[in-house]
Homo-oligomer: A and B are copies of this chain.
Amino acid sequence: MPKTDPQKTPPLFPCIMAGGSGERFWPLSRKTTPKHLLKLFSDRTLLEEAARRLEGLAPADRTFVLTNVAQQESTRRALPFLPPEQIVAEPAKRDTAPAAALAIALAYRHDPGAVVALLPADHVIGEPETFRRNLRDCARAAAVTNAIVTLAIGPTWPCTAFGYLELAEEMPPGVEGTPLRLVRRFVEKPDEATAKAYVTSGHYAWNAGMFIWRADVFLAEAERSQPELASFIRDFPPGDFGPYLADRFPSLPKISVDYAIMEKARKVISARAEFPWDDVGSWTAVRGHIPADAAGNCIRGTAFTLDAKNNIVFSTGRPIALCGVKDLVVVDAGDALLVCHRDHDQDVKKLLSTLPDSLK
């Protein structure tokens, strides 16, 4: 492995994973308009927010966005400030391990000692300066420790929809900045009692899928546990990689990066995320991000209410009138409409499976 000067910030290659479908945000999200291409909370898409959040961390030609073929053009349009060749389409739907390998390959061919930050496209993150500071610290830790670094979210409630990280004692302060802790293990989504125990223990954090590696460290882990991914990275050509990607990517194993690499990695450390974070996993989760009126209604667009309480309303153009209803999610996407009780927002995905393809 190349030597890296611990005093020097290593070259950082941020890579945004923008391949998701976001079915739980139907009817706004569709196959061609996934959650990260929605302007849920501002006049910017979540993806644009994610990309702009990186400004100053890395130049545009070291920032990659991975998407799929169907969404490549819309993704490029959503990020006009990035060179179009930085928006790379995966030629087949695999899982996150092949995507991570692609991100690593794109950095590795420039510099095996480069640090890659794999970041989700559709999370809501506040205090971007804190985020950048935390990410810089992670990159520095990844550069000097030969470990895989993950950003650990302090759990605020016993969520059963996330995986957790079990944390060990503090590490000696090898790098400045964010305190680091060894990750003992990755835990799959727990049941509610387990989640409660995790949250009160103080030894667990949410796994938000934000991973920071040195390219050669990832490669070494892949050599051990996923040789197909390792050879994909090693064989990655300089210059035009289109034909190579089309040829090799579709046969990579369909496996998540958590399962393929993280859970088997020799050394994983975590840095505590000090910025506000929310994955906004379903319609009801938007509540924290849209100001509520006196009756608890969170409204984007035009709505009129009478005796209506604690509703979430997304209107795109046409006004929505609520009368005597509470705890509803009402979303007008222009060509389709959703009326869902907030306790059932996890069922939107199931509902979607019953719809004709033209509405998906």
Q: Which residues of A contact B (CB under 8 A)?
A: 26-27, 304, 306-307, 315, 318-325, 328, 330, 332, 334-341, 343-345, 347-348, 350-351, 354-355, 359
Contacts and interface: CB of A to CB of B under 8 A. Distances in A.
Contacts of A328: 325, 339
B332 A348 contact: no
B359 A319 contact: yes
Given A26-B321, A323-B338, 13 more contacts: A304-B354, A318-B337, A319-B337, A320-B339, A321-B337, A321-B339, A321-B351, A322-B339, A323-B339, A323-B341, A324-B344, A325-B328, A325-B339
Nearest to A317: B335
Contacts of A322: 339-340
Contacts of A345: 323
Given A304-B351, A319-B359, A351-B306, A324 B336 contact: no
Contacts of A321: 26-27, 336-340, 351, 355
A328 to B, nearest CB: 7
A331 to B, nearest CB: 9
The winner among A322, A323, A345 for most chain B CB atoms within 10 A is A323
Nearest to A315: B337
Given A323-B344, A354-B304, A355-B304, A339 B339 contact: yes
A27 B344 CA distance: 27
6 contacts: A27-B321, A306-B354, A307-B344, A319-B337, A319-B355, A322-B340
The winner among A318, A321, A336, A359 for most chain B CB atoms within 10 A is A321
B347 A324 contact: yes
Contacts of A319: 336-337, 355, 359
Contacts of A307: 344, 347
B338 A324 contact: no
A324 B341 contact: yes
B337 A324 contact: no
A320 B338 CA distance: 6
Contacts of A336: 318-321
A306 B336 CA distance: 15
A339 B340 CA distance: 11
B306 A324 contact: no
Nearest to A350: B306
Contacts of A354: 304, 306
Q: List the 3 closest A-B pairs by CB distance, nearest first.
A: A324-B344, A324-B341, A323-B340
Nearest to A26: B321
B323 A348 contact: yes
A320 B351 CA distance: 12
A347 B328 CA distance: 18
Contacts of A355: 304, 319, 321
Contacts of A325: 328, 339-341, 344
Contacts of A347: 306-307, 323-324
Given A306-B354, A307-B347, A347-B307, A340 B318 contact: no
